Amino acid sequence: MKPIPTVTLRRLEKAARAAARKSYSPYSKFAVGAAVLTGSGKIYPGCNVENASYGLCNCAERTAIFSAVAAGEKTLRAVAVFTPTPEPTMPCGACRQVINEFGPRAEIVSVCASKQRITTTLDALLPAAFGPEDLG
């Protein structure tokens, strides 16, 4: 797979930052934004969407992924996530598993309220993942 140009990753990061402004997070007050770069080269944003029944809260990453899949996309090349924190944070375990389904080798870019960023890969965050191929 060709490396993703830095300018594309910066566009993805910008989309994640913008998506956080749409967050529905009245309970945690933790506004998260995400954006995914798909195999077709398109970018899909997402935000966290909370619920009065707390267990139904959906992370920004999964909102973005489900939106991409609903638009007909089946592969993820990169996922950017913005959290309103002084340091970057990593996607939660549930989101790692969902990213694995569509982008087992996806790049992950985490950005935050400061200039810090962490770039890693899904397989570094979820080694030996259970995935579609394990179902035979």
Catalytic residues: 61
Question: With binding defined as CB under 6 A, does residue 61 bind ligand THU?
Answer: yes
Binding piece for ligand THU, criterion CB under 6 A, among 9-17, 54-62, 70-78, 119-127: 54-62
Q: From CA 104, how far away is CA 23, in angstroms rounded?
A: 26
Check: CB of residue 49 under 8 Å from CB of residue 62. Answer: no
Question: In angstroms, what is the minimal distance from the CB of 62 to ligand THU?
Answer: 8
Check: CB of residue 95 under 8 Å from CB of residue 73. Answer: no
State the Cα torsion 39-61-108-127 to the nearest 10°: -100
Question: With binding defined as CB under 6 A, does residue 50 bind ligand THU?
Answer: yes
The footprint of ligand THU on residues 90-119 (CB under 6 A) is 91-92
Binding site for ligand THU (CB under 6 A): 25, 28, 30, 32, 48, 50, 57, 59-61, 81, 91-92
